[in-house]
Amino acid sequence: MSSSDTNTRAPVQPPAEVATAQPLAGHFGLVLPPLEPGQVLDGFRLEERLHQGGMAYLWRVTHPAHTMPLLMKVPRIKGGEDPATIVGFEVEMMLLPMIKGPHVPRFIAKGDFATRPYIVMEHIPGESLRPRLDAAPLPFDEVALIGARVATALHDLHRQHVIHLDIKPSNILFRAPTDGSACGTAVLVDFGLSRHDHLPDLLDEEFNLPMGTGPYMSPEQVQFVRNEPRSDLFALGVMLYHLTTGQRPFGAPSSVRGLRERLYKEPVPPRLHRPDCPGWLQEILLRCLEVDAAKRHPSAAHLAQDLLDPKHIRLTERAEKASQAGALKTFQRWFKAMGAEPSERGSAGEQLKRAPIVMAAVDVQGATPALLDLVRETVRRILSTEPGARLACVSVMKTARIGLDELTDQQGNSLHVKQLVGLKHWARPISQALELEDTRLTFHVLEAPDAATAIVEFAQKTQVDHIIMGARGNSALRRYLGSVSSQVVAQADCTVTVVRVPSEVSGASE
């Protein structure tokens, strides 16, 4: 299911109490005979050993009650293993049954350490992202696509109160694409180092050393902080930097001292490795790699939006950097890092609450001024209580299902641009009243024959947390056909607020 990276999960030089731990087989009282093809374990028949890693075996298995391809993960317990490896397997056994959705393998069953520990899950066919590193540097659009898919998967994981803490190419798989794109839905695997907001953090309780894979560990992980979801964004930034430039931003350190260099040494700007790197991509990469997690994207959903639609990115000095910091600045950063203690930021759930994505679905062409004002005031009021929220202003330009549409008005002006200008004009009072930064406000005109479907699909694609939209007065025709707002309420998987002007009655369809 995945192949191990060449780097260890923890520094090569662990504390003495870890290095001298007693053999695991003796610790757990286990005498486990080797598994063989054809053996049946709790009803699961071992068909083929797919992978033998340093910490676990992966077997293709079958079961008469399951038609989907199955994978069994079995820890290697022979004696002398790092205790963190076994505790990590316990963590995965505890956590995997609690997470759901297309971005994780479906959990099937697990065994007990008292007899034979294992986890059976859905088998995602194909290679991990690891071989793509050998092809780096990749085209920029492919890097952005991969990053957006992985960021979407991370946001779904964070929504379930889980921080992965070991994001790397070998832990990322892709389902078969269904939209003709280069890669399908990203699937995250190997949750041995992960943390759940509402479960005991066994690794934090039992060990006092940095946990992760050297090249991808965030600065806060080096400082023993495991409750920051934006650690996963740092790791994704490392991976995207490598795919863009063919180089790792912080090398492959194998000691705590080497890991700590990322607290004060800046990565080489991607443009020095690859001069044609666009400014928006360098902006994203260097923002992901910020030492202070608060300077990274507020959530994985925000990062996914930037990768999917980079024209909305506000470029800063990061985008133009063409040199590394000099010796004096590096020393100043080192001095600051040596005395700094990482702040405890809470949990994945708390961070997402501080950075929701709000969508205003606005009919700038058909709604009355009173309804447009009411939707705007509702959006302003909600955003005033969400200082970290991002607002996506969306309008749908209806197109015919069959045949050609007029793309310009009688004066020859683009209807798409005209609607976009109207949307920006509608949002200007909100931006001015709340002093929204450019990074928190985006505009989108969707061309589609069905407004409700377009709104719902956009919300799902961009991980929207809250949709705000207006509805016009009731009419017999609209009740019979079903209004846009009622369809969105029925189909959306997020919060939907629908506002209506009480005295407004219109016979026109939405």
- In tens, the pLDDT along 391-441 reads 999 999 888 655 555 666 556 667 888 888 999 999 999 988 888 776 688
Confidence at residue 17, expressed as pLDDT on a 0 to 100 scale: 31
The CATH code for residues 16-122 is 3.30.200.20
> To which CATH superfamily is domain 130-351 assigned?
Transferase(Phosphotransferase) domain 1 (1.10.510.10)
pTM for the structure as a whole: 0.85
List own/partner pairs for 103-106 with CB under 8 A and 24 or more apart. Answer: 103/152, 103/153, 103/156, 103/157, 103/185, 103/186, 103/187, 103/188, 104/157, 104/187, 104/188, 104/189, 105/1, 105/71, 105/187, 105/189, 106/68
pLDDT tens for each residue of 475-503: 554 554 458 888 999 999 999 999 988 87
Which residue reads 């080497």 in tokens? 258
Short-list 175, 165, 170, CA closest to 129 = 170
Domain ranges of the chain: 16-122, 130-351, 356-499
Does the pLDDT at position 317 exceed 50?
yes
Q: How confident is the model at residue 20 (pLDDT cuts 50, 70, 90)?
A: very low
Lowest-confidence region among 47-51, 175-179, 411-415, 423-427: 411-415
Does the pLDDT at position 139 exceed 90?
yes
Is the pLDDT higher at 55 or at 469?
469
Lowest-confidence region among 149-163, 196-210, 235-249, 393-407: 393-407
Q: How confident is the model at residue 22 (pLDDT cuts 50, 70, 90)?
A: very low
Contact 473, 502 (CB under 8 A): no
Does the pLDDT at position 141 exceed 90?
yes
Q: How far apart are CA 101 and CA 122, in angstroms?
A: 12
pLDDT tens for each residue of 235-292: 999 999 999 999 999 998 888 888 888 888 899 999 999 999 999 999 999 999 999 9
Lowest-confidence region among 4-18, 105-119, 185-199: 4-18
R_g of the chain, CA atoms, integer Å? 26
Which residue reads 């931006």 in tokens? 431
pLDDT tens for each residue of 447-459: 888 999 999 999 9
Which residue reads 């997020």 in tokens? 494
* Tally of CB atoms within 10 A around 44: 22
Q: Could you tell me the CA-to-CA distances from 439 to 132, 241, 282, 352, 363 in Å, in that order?
A: 31, 21, 16, 17, 23
Q: How far apart are CA 49 and CA 335, in angstroms?
A: 50
Pairing of strands 162-163, 195-196: antiparallel
Q: How far apart are CA 301 and CA 369, in angstroms?
A: 32
Which of the four CATH numbers 2.30.110.10, 3.30.70.2500, 3.40.50.620, 2.60.120.260 does domain 356-499 have?
Answer: 3.40.50.620
**H/E stretch holding 145:** helix 140-159
Q: How confident is the model at residue 6 (pLDDT cuts 50, 70, 90)?
A: very low
Confidence at residue 15, expressed as pLDDT on a 0 to 100 scale: 32
Percent pLDDT > 90 in the chain is 55
Q: How confident is the model at residue 342 (pLDDT cuts 50, 70, 90)?
A: low
Q: How far apart are CA 6 and CA 32, in angstroms?
A: 27
Quick one: three-class SS letters along 272-304?
HHCCCCCHHHHHHHHHHCCCCHHHCCCCHHHHH
